[in-house]
Chain A
């Protein structure tokens, strides 16, 4: 394990980070958690403010959306962790934004208005995890057939055999 893990420690150690500064200025209550582990900065963002947070870090220099994916922490709650990997071509840095989503209301706002690239990624998460994205232009299954039942990448879905 490298780096600081406590939230205040990380915020103090990385106060000059453009992403943290932009988020603290524009959305004072959005950051719910921070982690700096193995040279990678992770910011946990409130579910409601993900689109605004993406806009804020985009204007702070993180111009490229590399990846969106999800992790299922079943049976822990909140169950889903939607992960956004951002990249700054100017700063040559990566940033990870994380949103925790509860199973009872598994939905997040779509960030396609900020980065159209999120379109396929969000469809993939919808298909394989069953997390819905509000405001997505075309939220349909992408890998599995349209009439498929279930979400294969959930942890309670068996790797082999029948369900």
Chain B
């Protein structure tokens, strides 16, 4: 007589019979782990019992390298931490050092920073949307997203000379005055972008396969989210109304009008919906920043910290001396420690900078959002199928560069 098949969905059964489970390596070379994340999955049939993330494959010791560079030389390193939102890293580091120095940043530079932060958020969310949808089987969205992302990267290229590793924000302001066609180009992009979001939503929001793969998957309660250090869209999708741009504003965000979308559904679907709404809000913020962009200086009035104009350098002795001193020996930063948090595309990004009074940072620590959020992956996946792990990873919007640093 054949035995009755045992349903493998109850966690109690798994506890009762440990021999039944096996360890499956997901990654480090797996298309849906977005880089080199290795997950040791303990599985019971196709049901996940335990998830142990193994990270560090991309560890480059950026924090150690920072300690050997002058303050201004650290800016290009921060780009490489989270390569999908480089400007957020630039911004966060610059704000931290400016807080140490007590620098006042002119309004024009602040508004440019806000404008570019929001464009960066769009850039990052587009990569997230494309790869998340591709993981769940909708390949077309990926191509659409990269079409728009290309225009953002071209704007960045035009502005700073680099597509991805822009290093556009500098301690004391921004590096260059925007080119002449910048306004028209950004305006045209921002005007057309809401329609493009409609296009993506057309492909996904009503898509039965996408809904089945995301609704009710990767559940994370608000209590768990707070206990596990989750920030950004996953936190707001669990019903916690918290956005640093609104609640602890920096770089002039208090002057902008925008909504913070929140959802109580706690699942992968809610995170998708929130990020789509966030993109629409980002367009609004960027539009306000572009419309109200004040005239004036783009760098702080601090000749010993900010590099002089080329023109001034060729005609004024003082400027030449300052340039020489900044480049060869940096500038000393008063001793102290600061922590600056900003709302990056993925959540709270924080830079903790300790100065001992010299021209090199004594310690730079980066608090990266997905490093903490990755800890919540197990909560999202246990008791679900392996295929849901893919959806959950996508919904965290993981970037291994910033996790491993």
> A residues engaging B (CB < 8 A)?
1-2, 37-38, 40, 42, 63-67, 69, 71-72, 83, 85, 87, 89, 92, 94, 96, 115-117, 119-121, 128, 141-145, 152-153, 157, 159-160
Nearest chain A CB to B67's CB is how many angstroms away? 7
For the A-B complex, the count of residue pairs with Cβ-Cβ distances under 8 Å equals 93
A116 to B100, CA, bound (A): 31
Contact of B240 with A by CB under 8 A: yes
23 cross-chain CB contacts under 8 A? A40-B338, A40-B339, A63-B226, A66-B229, A66-B341, A66-B348, A66-B350, A67-B350, A67-B352, A69-B367, A71-B337, A85-B350, A116-B228, A117-B372, A117-B375, A120-B371, A120-B372, A142-B55, A143-B56, A143-B59, A143-B404, A153-B64, A160-B68
Q: Which residues of A contact B242 (CB under 8 A)?
A: 89
Task: Given the known inter-chain contacts A66-B367, A85-B339, A143-B56, please indicate yes or no for A120 contacting B375, CB distance below 8 A.
Answer: yes
CB distance B229 to A144 under 8 Å?
Answer: no
A119 to B379, CA, bound (A): 14
Q: Which residues of B contact A143 (CB under 8 A)?
A: 55-56, 59, 404-405
Tell me how many residues of B have a C-beta within 8 Å of chain A: 40
Q: Which residue of A lies closest to B363 (CB)?
A: A71
Contact of B99 with A by CB under 8 A: yes
CB distance B240 to A89 under 8 Å?
Answer: yes
Residues 367-405 of chain B, each 1 if its beta carbon lies under 8 Å from chain A, else 0: 100011011000000000000000000000000000011
Q: Which residues of A contact B336 (CB under 8 A)?
A: 1, 37-38
Nearest chain B CB to A91's CB is how many angstroms away? 10
Nearest chain A CB to B48's CB is how many angstroms away? 18
Q: Which residue of A lies closest to B242 (CB)?
A: A89
**8 Å CB contacts to A: which residues of B35-81?**
55-56, 59, 61, 63-65, 67-68
The listed residue (B65, B226, B350, B362) touching A71 by CB distance below 8 A is B362
